Amino acid sequence: EVQLLESGGGLEQPGGSLRLSCTVSGFTFSSYAMTWVRQAPGKGLEWVSVISGSGGTTYYADSVKGRFAISRDNSKNTLYLQMNSLGVEDTAVYYCAKNNRAGAPSHIDYWGQGTLVTVSS
């Protein structure tokens, strides 16, 4: 059974940093690209970033480019999202998601339950 468990969310002040983690099980982690998607309160889904199975290729939404960094540790079955220079507009539930193959383009086939990030002074 595929399982994705996010952690690291919480309350952070504007300008601060947070690192989200996503620990997975039930599949060969290194064989699949992984994605972060966020959803602001009461809003729709917004794609944030994707990383290839090897970790060698990454893509970002314009809204987070230069501030967020996606990475993975295939030895630990863990995906990360380092978020810097946080603004109130980054407040959202952040979902970790598995893609259906190692590279892009590929679609998301499994989602975690999400972790809430709140940016507020």
Partner 1 sequence: QSVLTQPPSVSAAPGQKVTISCSGSSSNIGINYVSWYQQLPGAAPKLLIYDNSKRPSGIPDRFSGSKSGTSATLGITGLQTGDEADYYCASWDSSLSVVFGTGTKVTVL
Min dist CB 88 to partner 1, Å, is: 20
Q: Which residues bind partner 1 (CB under 8 A)?
A: 35, 37, 44-47, 50, 59-62, 95, 100, 104-114
- Burial tier of 74 (Cβ tally within 10 Å: 0-12, 13-18, 19+): middle
Closest CA to 105 of 63, 37, 71, 57: 57
Min dist CB 4 to partner 1, Å, is: 9
Please give the Cα distance from 82 to 43 (Å, whole number).
23
Judged by beta carbon, residue 80 or residue 95, the one nearer partner 1 is: 95
Judged by beta carbon, residue 18 or residue 97, the one nearer partner 1 is: 97
Judged by beta carbon, residue 13 or residue 57, the one nearer partner 1 is: 57
- Burial tier of 65 (Cβ tally within 10 Å: 0-12, 13-18, 19+): exposed
Min dist CB 75 to partner 1, Å, is: 26
